[in-house]
Structure 1
Amino acid sequence: MLQLPTKRVTSIALAAAAGAAALSLAVAAGTSATAAAPPSVSGSPEGAFTRIADFYGSYIDAVYDGDGATADRLRAFYLSEPLRRELRQWEDANHADGVLRAQNVPLKWKVTSVDSGMGKTNAAVTLTWSSNTTTTVHVQADLATRKITAIRD
């Protein structure tokens, strides 16, 4: 049989006791014994879907901060020229932000992939407002150019 040094056996016993105590506390508190994973965000500059998420996150930050110049630069970079023209017309008619389809800024956003095909990718962007209500806009991007080509209610 393997003989461990006394100090090693004591250390192992203490570690096991500490682990059992932590597990007992977690169970008693109704939480998981494993630590929650820290939040993370990932993406790729090659993916049109990631570009949709990147655009909405950055655009909402810029509008929230009142930085119109950055919001304009983001539109110029991420949105196709025909869409930018369409949004200007929509905004003139509706007196609201065409990207957000609203006059105010959402407090949260979530981008969900819907499907891809025929050279396009589609996403649903869920916007959460101060009243805890949500709206969804449907966004399409071109797979070849990675530019956003359509935003619909």
Structure 2
Amino acid sequence: MLQLPAKRTTSVALTAALGAAALSFALAGGTSATAAAPPSVSGSPEGAFTRIADFYGAYIDAVYDGDGRTADRLRSFYLSESLQAELRQWEEANHANGVLRAQNVPLKWKVTSVDSGMGKTNASVTLTWSGDTTTTVHVQADLRTKKITSIRD
């Protein structure tokens, strides 16, 4: 039978005891003993749903940074011409940003797929404002062109 030197046996026992204590503390505190996975974002240029998420992420960044030129270019690239015209009318009538349906910029956003069919994909975009207030807009994109064709409250 293998016999470890006394000093090594003590350090192995101490390490095991500390590990068990850390695990007990983690479980008692409601945390996982394993490391949390780092956040990740993925997508595909081929998917209309991904395009909705890409647009909202980049657009909110541009508006937040006060970069109107980039925001306008994003609208031109991601939104259908008819939606761009509709948004201009909505904005004149409501004195607010038609994409965000607000006068200010959200602190967070989340895009959730709702369904796809009949050549369209639908998503809900949850916008989180200060005080954790949320609003939701419903967005539709064309599967063929991948352009966003509708934004509704």
* Same-fold call, TM cutoff 0.5: yes
CA deviation vs aligned residue, 1:107-127 (integer Å, no higher than 9, x gap):
111111110000100000011
One-letter amino acid matched to 1:42: S
CA deviation vs aligned residue, 1:60-88 (integer Å, no higher than 9, x gap):
01001100001001001100111111111
For 2:91 and 2:34, the matched residues in 1 are separated by 49
Closer, same or farther: CA 79–25 of 1 in aligned 2, 3 Å? same
Partner of 1:95: 95
Partner SS state of residue 132, structure 2:
coil
Gap runs ≥5 in structure 2: none
Closer, same or farther: CA 15–94 of 1 in aligned 2, 3 Å? same
For 2:45 and 2:16, the matched residues in 1 are separated by 46
TM-score between the two structures when normalised by the length of structure 2: 0.88
Closer, same or farther: CA 44–16 of 1 in aligned 2, 3 Å? farther
RMSD, matched Cα: 2.0
Q: CA deviation at 1:18?
A: 4.8
Per mean C-alpha deviation after superposition, the further-off stretch among 45-54 and 24-33 is: 24-33
Q: CA deviation at 1:20?
A: 2.3
Closer, same or farther: CA 5–61 of 1 in aligned 2, 3 Å? farther
Closer, same or farther: CA 117–5 of 1 in aligned 2, 3 Å? farther
Gap runs ≥5 in structure 1: none
For 1:131 and 1:42, the matched residues in 2 are separated by 28
Partner SS state of residue 34, structure 2:
coil
TM-score between the two structures when normalised by the length of structure 1: 0.88
Closer, same or farther: CA 56–5 of 1 in aligned 2, 3 Å? farther
Partner of 1:70: 70
Partner SS state of residue 127, structure 2:
strand
Partner SS state of residue 26, structure 1:
helix
Q: CA deviation at 1:98?
A: 0.4
For 2:97 and 2:143, the matched residues in 1 are separated by 25
For 2:18 and 2:34, the matched residues in 1 are separated by 14
For 1:4 and 1:53, the matched residues in 2 are separated by 60
Partner of 2:143: 143
Closer, same or farther: CA 49–12 of 1 in aligned 2, 3 Å? farther
Partner of 1:122: 122
Partner of 1:61: 61
Mapping 1:8-27, distance limit 5 Å? 16-27=16-27
Closer, same or farther: CA 24–88 of 1 in aligned 2, 3 Å? same
For 1:80 and 1:115, the matched residues in 2 are separated by 20
Mapping 1:39-50, distance limit 5 Å? 39-50=39-50
